[in-house]
Structures are given as C-alpha cells and as structure tokens.
Amino acid sequence: MNEVADLIVAGARVAVDGPDGAGKTHFADNLAAVLRERGQTVVRVSLDDFHQVRAIRYRRGRDSPTGFWLDSFNYPRFRADVLEPFAPGGDRMYRPAAHDLHTDKVLNPPRRPAPPSAILLVDGLFLQRAELADAWDTTVFLDVPFTETARRMATRDGTAPDPADPSMRRYVEAQRIYYAACNPQRQATILIDNTTFTTPRILRMPS
C-alpha cells in the first residue's frame, strides 16, 4: 500500500477500478488511511452512490449484461458533482452522492467543500470507460479472476458462487464487454493482483 501511496500527489484524482467483488472499497479505504497518516486530506467517494434509478438500470432487462454495462451509473451527475469540482480550476465544492440504492431515491445533498490539496479517491466499476477516462491522474486496477470474485459476491450478496451460473451472466459478461472496449488492465497506471484479499501484489507500476 505504501508503494501505491508514494505515487499519489496532493490534489490528484485517483480511481480504484476492478470487477465486482475485486475488493475495491476495502483497498481504497486502506489507501485513504495510509494517505491520511501521511498528513494528506482525502475525499472518499464511491461510484455506487451514483447509480441510475431502477427504471433506467433495468430497462434492457434484469439479466442483461449490456444493460449493466450501459445503464448502471449516472455518469453526467458523477462528472458534474464530483469530477469537475476536483478538476484543475474546479471550485472543490462537491456532492458525495446522487442516488440511494436501497430506496431508489435521487439525492441532491448540499455541496461540501474540500481544500485545493485534497486527494479525490474513488472506487467503482467501469472507471476507465470513455466518459471518465480523461478525468483521472492515477488509476489502480485490481485484477481478480471471476472464480474468486464470484465466490466473494456469494459471501457478500448471496449470489451464485459459480461465475458460469446463468444468474451471474449479467455481471461477468458486462465485465467482459468492459475489458474488450477499454482494456482497463493495460490502461491502468497501477495493476494489482488482488486475488489474495489480504496481500495485494503489484504487477505493474510506473518506474
């Protein structure tokens, strides 16, 4: 974790990307803790708080991988509420959420201020897709095989532990669409093997 933290400078926008079940939230929280111990101000945001409402998320069908890839998140709100305030010249007045996944309500919380030196640290799916790719100073991709992510999702969500199960098609095939369209493992600044949850292993980072 310290090696990753060494590459993050004050004011940076950092993405922690990877498939569902890769351990993105845990990794980002730990990275934030290390940065704060070093005296950095960190703003933690999750793309999970910027879901589309159910009517949009499931308009192509609840089992549709294409729907999961195209319709899961409200990227215009995420850019306006988070990425643009933290962009160079941005006012640092951000909103941390736009949707409550449990109630399906659209949220408009008051904007929060962040100092110019604050690091924006975001975890989420598909963070290197075209709508977002230009916004990051550093991208971390957690590479984990689907056999392991499905096992973790089964423990967390009660879903099928086999990635080949038909009920997992929406999630696994959407990730394959993402991999084919954006090649996030290759494009990431830092590539980490997070198969063993407690001991992430750096596969590639800038020299």
The pLDDT of residue 30 is 97
The pLDDT of residue 123 is 98
Beta strands 105-106 and 99-100 are antiparallel
Helix ranges (DSSP H) in the chain: 2-6, 24-37, 54-57, 65-71, 75-78, 146-157, 169-182, 184-187
Q: Do 142 and 25 form a contact (C-beta atoms < 8 A)? A: no
User: Domain limits of the chain?
Assistant: 2-204
| Interior angle at CA 46, CA 41 and CA 49, nearest 5 | 130
The pLDDT of residue 27 is 97
The pLDDT of residue 171 is 96
Cross-strand bridge partners of residue 141: 17, 191
Per-residue pLDDT of the chain (207 residues; tens, 9 = 90+): 899 999 999 999 999 999 999 999 999 999 999 999 999 999 999 999 999 999 999 999 999 999 999 999 999 999 999 999 999 999 999 999 999 999 999 999 999 999 999 999 999 999 999 999 999 999 999 999 999 999 999 999 999 999 999 999 999 999 999 999 999 999 999 999 999 988 999 999 997
The pLDDT of residue 101 is 96
CATH topology of domain 2-204: Rossmann fold (3.40.50)
Q: How many CB atoms lie within 10 A of CB 33?
A: 13
The pLDDT of residue 77 is 98
pTM for the model stands at: 0.96
